[in-house]
Structure 1
Amino acid sequence: MIPVFDGHNDFLLRLLRDPDNRQTIWNPGEGKGHLDLPRMRAGGFVGGFFAIYIPSPEAHDAPDFEAMMDAPPYDLPLPPLIGADLAQPVAMAMAGHLMWLERTGDLTICRSVADIREAIAAGRIAAIMHMEGAEAIGVDLDALHVWHAAGLRSLGPVWSRPTVFGHGVPFRYPSSPDTGAGLT
């Protein structure tokens, strides 16, 4: 079987939304969603980037964005910026779920290429902690060293909303990737 190393997954969001059921979601799995341990093993999944990001708050009067994307063209408005004070608790909870996965013995949070190779050789999922949107780091970058110590090795400064680090990429189709003012 060809080994698969995934460039991005939102598995931690699934655990964030249903923390009381995380053991079942992980293993034995429920057969739904993108990932669970049995389907990872069956598909040759050896590792990937496990995304930590802050979901935009849902407004009760917000349009149905999913339905809008089913009928192109579309140009969804960027959600508002989220400050570090609101982002940090959510990001820490997602990181906590990744650390819990590591404690199951089936996954290793990898901090180096050597860690990735060792995890794969040992039959564990090689997880790279990835932050998508950097809101939880804060404008002064003061929390970056804390995140690095926790295992963060991949950082995307924006997501599909503005951050203090850049404009963000809107959900827009058709569109060019050249959007907004870029990084700040």
Structure 2
Amino acid sequence: MTETDLIPVFDGHNDTLLRLYQSKEADVEKLFIEGTPGGHIDLPRARKGGFAGGMFAIFPPPIEKTKRSAVPPAPSDNEPLPPELPRAEAVTSTIGMASILFRLERAGALTVCRSAGDVREAMAKGSIAAVFHIEGVEAIDPELAMLDVLHAAGLRSLGIVWS
């Protein structure tokens, strides 16, 4: 018996959904289920590594940064903030990644968990326990209507910022 048989791995953050979203592949389920040569989590490597589940992070891809100097700025230098991401772009990418999460669930690759009991049940059945997690609130409107919709869809963790 290996150590991963005794101690399940639960990841506090992964970029799997962003990587699948950015792949622009039509069949992201196949990419995840059959595996890829590199990148983040896929089903074959998850099984091999004892990955039991994690926080599947959804966040808008960062705006392209201008090329910066290879020399980091001195601590006294102030770098301007990047431009604000238009909310429509944030909504599009957030919904796109959430869609991938639910497509993976429909394909039987993982279980979207809405409670601690769901996490325990998924792990007991040998299914990857996926917690729908958002980092950054760019897609959420001031009236919080989008938050209501995302919660109804399964959102259970929210970090107001990301770096």
Same fold per TM (> 0.5)? yes
Q: Runs of 5+ in structure 2 lacking a partner? A: none
Q: Which whole-Å CA distance do the structure 1 matches of 2:32 and 2:142 have between them?
A: 34
The one-letter code of the counterpart of 2:31 is I
1:78 maps onto 2:81 in alignment: yes
> Residues 24 and 83 of structure 1: is their aligned pair in 2 closer, same or farther, counting only changes over 3 Å?
same
Partner of 1:38: 44
TM-score by length of 1: 0.76
- 5 Å-filtered alignment, 1:1-80, equals 1=4, 2-18=7-23, 19-58=25-64, 62-64=66-68, 68=70, 77-80=80-83
Q: Which whole-Å CA distance do the structure 1 matches of 2:109 and 2:72 have between them?
A: 41
Q: Which whole-Å CA distance do the structure 2 matches of 1:135 and 1:121 have between them?
A: 35
Q: Which whole-Å CA distance do the structure 1 matches of 2:156 and 2:131 have between them?
A: 6
User: SS of the counterpart of 1:49?
Assistant: strand
The one-letter code of the counterpart of 1:27 is I
Shift in Å, 1:77: 4.6
User: SS of the counterpart of 1:136?
Assistant: coil
The one-letter code of the counterpart of 1:63 is K
Partner of 2:119: 116
Partner of 1:144: 147
Number of matched residues?
A: 154
Superposed CA deviations along residues 48-95 of structure 1, whole A, max 9, x for unmatched, are: 000110012326xx115xx74xx5567765322224222111100000
Give me the identity figure in percent.
Answer: 52
Q: Which whole-Å CA distance do the structure 2 matches of 1:74 and 1:99 have between them?
A: 45
For the aligned residues, what is the CA RMSD?
2.0
Partner of 1:93: 96
Q: Which whole-Å CA distance do the structure 1 matches of 2:35 and 2:115 have between them?
A: 28
Q: Which has the higher helix share?
A: 2
TM-score by length of 2: 0.85
Stretches of 4+ aligned residues off by more than 3 angstroms: 71-78
Q: Runs of 5+ in structure 1 lacking a partner? A: 161-184
